[in-house]
Each structure stands twice: as C-alpha cells, then as structure tokens.
Amino acid sequence: MNANPEWDLIVLGAGASGLMCAATAGGRGRRVLVLDHARHAGEKIRISGGGRCNFTHLEADPSRYLSNDPEFTRGALAAFTPHDFLALLARHGIGHKEKSPGQLFSDGSAEKIVAMLLDECRRSRVRLVLGEEIRGVEHDARGFKVRSAHAEWQAPKLVIALGGRSMPKLGASGLGYELARQFGLKIIPPRPGLTPLIFSGELRTTCRELAGISLLAEITLESTRIRDDLLFTHQGLSGPVILRISSLWRSGETLEIDLLPDVDLAERLIEAKKVESRLTPRTILSRWLPKRLVWQKTADMKADAPLAEIGDKRLRAMADTIHHWRVIPVGTGGYERAEVTVGGVDTNAIDPLTMACRTIPGLYFIGEVLDVTGWLGGYNLQWAWSSGHAAGLAV
C-alpha cells in the first residue's frame, strides 16, 4: 500500500453517523473521504420522523437501547448529548419542536438537517464521493484500501458507518456485517426492528375489518409492558406500541393486548347493570371504544341483550376479550418496512469511548451497524450522532 496516502481517513457510509464522524474528524484537520453507493447523502435522515426528522430524545441513556451490553452506549451518549446536537442546530438557525416530552423534531423539513450536516462537512473540507458501489476492502499494516468498480482509495484509518439491513430501497445492504466478518468480528444475528406485525387466518381478517382504527393500548410481552397508540392495518397491527414491541418480539411469542388499559371494564359493566340495566353491553363499551371494534370483539357474545339479562360471569368474559386479547403474529414487516435492524457487530470487540475495533488498529464501527438499537422516539439518530462524534474525535 502507498506510504503517503491522500487521505487520513475513509468513512464508508454517508448516513447519519458517517456524516457526523466525517465533519468532526475534518474539523480537527483530518483529511477525510466519505464513500457511499447512494446518489444522495443522508437518505434516511431525509425521510425520518415522517419528513420532520425526530432527531433526538432528551432521555437518551443506556436504558433506552437494546444490545447485549446496553452500558456500552453510556460513554458516547454522555460525551455528545442531545443538548450538544441542539447547540449544533442552533448554530445553523434550525429550530425544533417537542412532540411528546423529550421527543424532538425539526421545526421544518428533515432536509434542513441533512443540509446542516453537509454544510459542516464542507466547512471541514470533507470530500464526499457518492454513487460508488464498494467492491471490497483490503488491509495490511499500513492501512486500508477500498475498491469500487471505478477506483480505489487508501487511508491508514477506516470507519464503517454502513448501517443495518433495514429499508434496502434507501440504500441499506449487509456490507457492514460482511466487512466485520472479514475482520473476524462476531455479529449478533440481525433482525428487523421497529416494524409492523403481520397476522394470518382469522386474526388477519379481524385486523382487515378494523383497518384504520387507532387507539391507546398496552401490550405485554413476557416481563415487558408498553403503552402507546395501536393501529389496525390490512395485514395486522402497527402504530408506535407495535413498532416498539416488535424490536423485542421473537417468532412464536404471544402478545397480550389490553385495548382499554385505563378502564376496569368488568367493574364498569357490573356497575352499569345496577343503574342502567336496560342498556346493552355494546352501548356501554361504545362509550370508550370505537363501535366497529366493540361489534367485532363481542360478535359471539350476545352483547346486544339488556344488561339485566346477562350474568356477571359473562360480563367479565366480555371485559376479558378487551383487556386480554392474546395474539401470535406470523411475522414482521421485514427489512422492507423496518425502521431499524436489531443486532449487529458485537460491542465486546469495540472500545466504547472511541468506537475503535480492539483487534484491528485503525478500524472503527459507528451507528446502526453495531449491536445497539434505540427505542422509538429519536434514540437511534442520537446514537448515530454520539457514536459518530466519538469516532470523529478519536481518528
């Protein structure tokens, strides 16, 4: 390999973590080259948060991340916090909005955030080469050689910021994992996360009949309980509560869904029987739930008889169908519909403060390619910023 390469550092991937790392390293005087096969940098940022970019969550700490070792995230998150990203936005005159407590979005389009990162890269004299399909990486004691179909580049340091497998149409590929394997690193098996869940048979028919209905629900999966909005779709279930639980769900596991978590329905129905005995359970249930859902869930329960004629046991059974709906999905929406990939490069092999690979000097991994997956709500981009920044300071 060339003894005097043109670049100090090559970053593979011009996504959220790669751009942050490149701007940070370039700002320290490093000569940085960023390579990506996409035509535009930051494609996922551009469509994130429904086009508004949910760029961080103020509560980002290790408890909000799934990983074999969530503590791995602590140092990088503490060294570049949501407030540091806010300060960067402020320097570029970009405002923000808080949707739910701590969950921050751009006050304009997500495009502004991509433009900000590209501007930071320009100021740091980072060279961006887009539309380059990476064919391979070679390594010897002097550094790394990256080959594409048309060219090759060399540098003593290489940062892998290639993301996971989710959303191939936005540029995702498995190259980050392939390279990690080439360098002898262990991969925690990847799977789709933050994705809708799919059902078959009768359950699918039920969901299709209720498609479009959205309501607050609480889902229990083993010892985890999550409360958020649920949406019925033509294929199954979606909405924030499903996306969040999907990152934990494994094939064959049962979900228990409470469709009315704030009301003790059995008590309300038995109470109503005393004072409104001519009304039907359906009328009572429709006070809290969409009619279509009530009709569907009570179809086989004679719920259109007056309360006076129904025993307490049956009223309790009706309440149970709403509070304890047990379902087994047949699968997830797959990588095509998953916002993130759970699993990835085992963090045991990575220094948590610099993102350097412990076994290969000069090699770094940042962002989603690592076995670090945030909850829904801005945590994944914060991890991209924090890990990218950590590597940018270290290279």
Is residue 16 involved in binding ligand FDA (CB under 6 A)?
Answer: yes
Is residue 384 involved in binding ligand FDA (CB under 6 A)?
Answer: yes
User: Cα–Cα distance between 307 and 233 in angstroms, integer?
Assistant: 32
Is residue 160 involved in binding ligand FDA (CB under 6 A)?
Answer: no
Is residue 128 involved in binding ligand FDA (CB under 6 A)?
Answer: no
First-to-last alpha carbon distance for the chain, in angstroms, is: 20
Is residue 173 involved in binding ligand FDA (CB under 6 A)?
Answer: yes
CA distances from 374 to 10, 199, 381 (A): 26, 25, 8
Nearer to ligand FDA, 239 or 378 (CB): 378
Least gap, CB of 49 to ligand FDA (angstroms): 3
CA distances from 171 to 3, 190, 298, 383, 388 (A): 33, 17, 45, 19, 19
Instruction: Tell me which of 206, 235, 380, 386 binds ligand FDA, using CB under 6 A.
Output: 380
What one-character DSSP code corresponds to residue 365?
E
Is residue 38 involved in binding ligand FDA (CB under 6 A)?
Answer: yes
Is residue 120 involved in binding ligand FDA (CB under 6 A)?
Answer: no
For residue 351, give both structure tokens: 């220094």
Q: Which amino acid is at 4?
A: N
Pairing between β-strand 325-327 and β-strand 255-258 as defined by DSSP bridges: antiparallel
Instruction: Tell me which of 8, 36, 218, 371 binds ligand FDA, using CB under 6 A.
Output: 36
CB 180 within 8 A of CB 345: yes
DSSP bridge pairs for 104: 56, 98
Is residue 220 involved in binding ligand FDA (CB under 6 A)?
Answer: no
Q: Identify the three-state secondary structure at position 221.
A: strand
Q: Which residue is it, tokens 């979606």?
A: 238
For residue 238, give both structure tokens: 């979606």
Q: Which of 252, 263, 253, 250 is nearest to 215 (CA)?
A: 263
What are residue 245's phi and psi, to 5 degrees?
A: -70, -25
Instruction: Tell me which of 9, 10, 11, 14 binds ligand FDA, using CB under 6 A.
Output: 14
Nearer to ligand FDA, 166 or 206 (CB): 166
Nearer to ligand FDA, 133 or 309 (CB): 133
Is residue 17 involved in binding ligand FDA (CB under 6 A)?
Answer: yes
Q: Which residue is it, tokens 């060294």?
A: 79
Is residue 239 involved in binding ligand FDA (CB under 6 A)?
Answer: no
Q: DSSP H helical segments within the chain, as ranges?
A: 16-27, 43-47, 74-79, 82-91, 111-123, 175-182, 201-209, 240-246, 265-275, 281-285, 291-297, 312-323, 334-337, 379-394
Is residue 146 involved in binding ligand FDA (CB under 6 A)?
Answer: no
Is residue 61 involved in binding ligand FDA (CB under 6 A)?
Answer: no
Q: Which of 208, 165, 173, 139 is nearest to 361 (CA)?
A: 139
Least gap, CB of 286 to ligand FDA (angstroms): 35
User: Cα–Cα distance between 352 and 114 in angstroms, integer?
Assistant: 26
User: Cα–Cα distance between 253 and 243 in angstroms, integer?
Assistant: 15
Instruction: Tell me which of 162, 180, 197, 226 binds ligand FDA, using CB under 6 A.
Output: 162
Cβ count near 188 (within 10 Å): 16
Nearer to ligand FDA, 192 or 281 (CB): 192
Is residue 116 involved in binding ligand FDA (CB under 6 A)?
Answer: no
Task: Return the range that interacts with ligand FDA (CB under 6 A); candidates 151-159, 204-212, 254-262, 377-385.
Answer: 377-385
Is residue 33 involved in binding ligand FDA (CB under 6 A)?
Answer: no
Pairing between β-strand 157-160 and β-strand 9-12 as defined by DSSP bridges: parallel
Least gap, CB of 272 to ligand FDA (angstroms): 43
Task: Return the range that interacts with ligand FDA (CB under 6 A); candidates 2-10, 93-101, 157-165, 349-357.
Answer: 157-165
Instruction: Tell me which of 8, 10, 11, 49 binds ligand FDA, using CB under 6 A.
Output: 49
Instruction: Tell me which of 7, 9, 33, 54 binds ligand FDA, using CB under 6 A.
Output: 54
Nearer to ligand FDA, 116 or 175 (CB): 175
Nearer to ligand FDA, 339 or 346 (CB): 339
Residues near ligand FDA (CB under 6 A) are 13-18, 36-38, 43-44, 47-49, 53-54, 133-134, 161-163, 166-167, 171-173, 175, 339-340, 367-369, 378-381, 384
